[in-house]
Amino acid sequence: AFTGAKTVLDQQQAQEAISTVLNNANKSKFAGKIAEGKAFLEQNKKRTGVQTTASGLQYEVLKAGNGAKATATDSVLVNYKGTLLDGKQFDSSYDRGEPITFTLNQVIKGWTEGVQLMNGGSKYKFFVPYNLAYGERGYGPDIPPYSTLIFEIELLKVNGK
């Protein structure tokens, strides 16, 4: 490349190759975390009351509501608590003392899919595989890469578009 000779890979192919190598190295580093999540989900789906969607999202209905259902583009008001598989809590609107409003298509895929299953007034427990959560990057200091997450979500209100 420095001499102006023809390269084997163009710029995009070189970036893809580098990205693949780095992702595979990162995945190897977190192989235990990936295996832990997979084993947990395999066991969890056998529990009575746990449902599994086509994407691999698992959920359990803690309280059935009869309010409106949200679509992916709706804003919703929820209370929630998020934990890692070891029980360590990383976030909670309950602890902050107030529910949060967000638009469903602006959160992790597991929330976008899961909250649409709920009627207003419901409370569900979601078991979110890493690929429907924060994936290979994790999130902040509290959610490591490749983490399977558990959320208790209470859908208080569907605000609409």
The residues annotated as belonging to the active site are 80, 90-91, 108, 134, 151
Residue 125, both tokens:
């427990």
Regarding beta strands 50-52 and 75-84, do their DSSP bridges make them parallel or antiparallel, or are they unpaired? Answer: unpaired
Taking the C-alpha atoms of residue 152 and residue 67, their distance in angstroms, rounded to an integer, is 18
Residue 142, both tokens:
């509290």
Going from the C-alpha of 1 to that of each of 11, 13, 15, 17, 19, the distances in angstroms are 11, 14, 15, 17, 20
Taking the C-alpha atoms of residue 67 and residue 44, their distance in angstroms, rounded to an integer, is 28
Taking the C-alpha atoms of residue 157 and residue 161, their distance in angstroms, rounded to an integer, is 12
Strand ranges in the chain using DSSP code E only, listed in sequence order: 50-52, 58-63, 75-84, 89-92, 100-103, 123-128, 149-160
